Amino acid sequence: MAPGLRVFERDPGREARALADLACAAGRFTPSVSLAPPDGLLLEIGGCLRLFGGVAAIVEAVRTACGEQGWSTEWAVAPTPLAARWLARAGARQSVDTVVELPAALVPLSCAVPGWPAETVARLQSFGCTRLGDLMQLPAAGLRQRLGHGPVDDLLRARGEVPDPQRYFVFPEQFAAALELPSRVEYAEGLAFAGQRLFAALAGWLTIRQSLVRACSLQLTHDDGSTSVLPLRLGEPCADEARLLRLLREHLGRLTLPAPVEALRLTADEVIARPGDSGRLFTEATAGEGTAACLERLRARLGEAAVQVLGLRADYRPECATVASDPLAAGAGRELSSAEATFSASHPLWLLPTPQPLAERADGPHWHGPLQLLTRGERLESGWWDSGEPDATGDIRRDYFVARNGQGQWAWIFRDAQGWYLHGVFA
């Protein structure tokens, strides 16, 4: 009758892990999350209404987040946890504002909604009770004798007549979430949707822990049993799910899978405490769209070695005074040293790969014509400690000058025992 139907054996372990991941993701909306196994979550939103702008806004945000992760949801809002669960299970999709309104909202629900044992439901039907409203009209003492205390106590908790404390979900100290894919993925771009579930859980966990992530890693388990790791490093710590997903998609766009992928595991490798922040007086650029975010995307597209920054190194030799470093590393652009190299405006910021020999005539060195020396000689003599070492600059003895030719071009030149050389050009 349904040839396209796919049947799977139920896996309670995977269901529990999926529910825990959803609980982590729900940390973006409220810190008070409770598990209602096997397929329910309870979110206490009373303290978050002003933040989101009311019940309708927070319900829509939660439903959108679940839909983006591929989950279909039934929801309800009620003053008591059990009433909210029953209304959601019945597909009511309604919001009950006060305890006074609860009995009227519960009346039309079927007696099968609470999930009582089949024997209890059958006995209720034998009494002619098919709805909770029918059950509420019967004397509580007689119901306890016929059905036991469970159904009666449930009704009292659902209507808010007795307390119903909940055990809150405990968010883990360290974040690591795994996801088994429903089918093998052969192309890297196909992992983006599955990764969205993991990053949603990470964003919620970071919100609850008041933390930011600087680096995380996505482990791919292939169908041949091997694993590979995709490191993700951010330009600045963040907890923004959208930014994390953009970075993931950039990396996946240039990733070639060695074998089809069967499972994913996301681990937060570097996490820092979220610093305190205050409101801004004036409008500023959108968070996550600055220089650091641009560097993240460039490195993901071009490769890590293609994007570097220059920093200072404590060395007077021009060839050794700068160093390329990772722009996303802490302290990038500056090499730690007890000394600090200093540069004046008479030095160009960019040098030639190797000094270029200059022709020398009676009127001095030439570069596109005769050069006029504009400064006195600056003697640089340094580097005796690495003379003779492979690929080392070694000891130098040079006199540097700023010069200009007839075309108005400015150059940084030096003279040593071998003659004149061009070493840099001013912009």
Spans of all domains in the chain: 12-158, 176-273+291-301, 308-343, 347-425
Task: Map residue 118 onto helix, strand or coil.
Answer: helix
- What's the rounded Cα separation, in Å, for the pair 420 and 412? 11
- What's the rounded Cα separation, in Å, for the pair 220 and 58? 34
CB atoms within 10 A of CB 84: 23
DSSP 143-158: HHHHH-HHHHHHHHHH
Task: Map residue 94 onto helix, strand or coil.
Answer: coil
Q: How far is CA 391 from the centre of its chain?
A: 41
- What's the rounded Cα separation, in Å, for the pair 59 and 43? 10
Contact 199, 264 (CB under 8 A): no
What is the radius of gyration, based on Cα positions, of the chain? 34
pTM above 0.75, yes or no: no
Query: What pLDDT is attached to residue 337?
Result: 38
CB atoms within 10 A of CB 155: 21
pLDDT by residue for the chain (427 residues), tens digit each?
A: 899 998 888 889 889 999 999 999 999 999 999 999 999 999 999 988 888 899 999 999 999 989 888 889 999 999 999 999 999 999 999 999 999 999 999 999 999 999 999 999 999 988 889 999 999 998 888 889 888 899 999 999 999 999 999 999 999 999 999 998 888 999 999 999 889 999 999 999 999 999 999 999 999 999 999 999 999 988 888 999 999 999 999 999 889 999 999 999 999 999 999 887 666 666 555 555 667 777 777 777 777 777 877 777 777 788 887 777 777 665 554 443 333 444 455 788 778 888 999 998 888 899 999 999 998 888 888 887 887 777 777 788 899 999 999 898 999 999 998 999 999 898 7
Contact 60, 73 (CB under 8 A): no
Contact 373, 401 (CB under 8 A): yes
Q: How far is CA 366 from the centre of its chain?
A: 56
Q: What are phi and psi of 327, to 5 degrees?
A: -70, -20
Q: Which residues contact 137 (CB under 8 A, 6 or more apart)?
A: none
CB burial of residue 158 (10 Å; 0-12, 13-18, 19+): buried
The owner of tokens 């529910």 is 19
Query: What pLDDT is attached to residue 153?
Result: 94
Query: What pLDDT is attached to residue 342?
Result: 45
Query: What pLDDT is attached to residue 336?
Result: 38
- Identity (one letter) of the amino acid at 311? G
What's the CATH code, domain 176-273+291-301?
3.30.1490.100
The owner of tokens 């005074």 is 321
Query: What pLDDT is attached to residue 206?
Result: 94
Contact 266, 202 (CB under 8 A): yes
Torsion of CA 52, 58, 64, 70, to 10 degrees: 130
Q: Rounded to whole angstroms, what are the CA distances from 22 to 17, 170, 204?
A: 9, 13, 9
